[in-house]
Structure 1
Amino acid sequence: MLGLKLDKNNQRALASAIVASGTDDLNVMFLSFSMSSIIADLAISGTQAGWIATITNLGMLSASL
């Protein structure tokens, strides 16, 4: 790893960051899997579904700031 030495706390922080990033990506994946059911169950248009995805992504962006 380019000669970089990590102590135990830095290793734990790195592992936690990797796990947190992976679980954050699950939100997007779950939304994409469930979007077709949301469209069918709520009888919404593709544009409205796009707004749901956009607002969700903006919310995740603002939460990370």
Structure 2
Amino acid sequence: MASAVSNTFRQVGEALAIALFGVFVGRDAGFSVGMQLGLATAAAWAVICLVAAAATLPGPSQA
């Protein structure tokens, strides 16, 4: 059950990301400007997720 829920949320997230990048690329400013904005947004989210993971994951265990 948990695997199905996780898979569903992953697919919804992918669909929303593709739609968001399509909005950026399809703007009147042009393809390259939209692509730069989309990639910058993806990079910013990657950094935010990296910081959140580093802050919440436990450190190495002391034996």
TM-score, structure 1 as length reference = 0.52
Amino-acid identity (%): 10
Matched, 1:56 2:45: no
How far off is 1:58 after superposition? Answer: 1.4
In structure 2, the gaps of 5 or more residues are 51-63
In structure 1, the gaps of 5 or more residues are 1-11
Q: Where in structure 2 are the equivalents of 1:1-20 lying within 5 Å?
A: 12-20=1-9
Matched, 1:29 2:18: yes
What is the RMSD computed on CA atoms of the aligned residues?
Answer: 2.1
SS of the residue corresponding to residue 45 of structure 2 reads helix
How far off is 1:20 after superposition? Answer: 1.4
Q: Following TM superposition, where does structure 1 have runs of at least 4 consecutive aligned residues deviating by more than 4 angstroms?
A: none
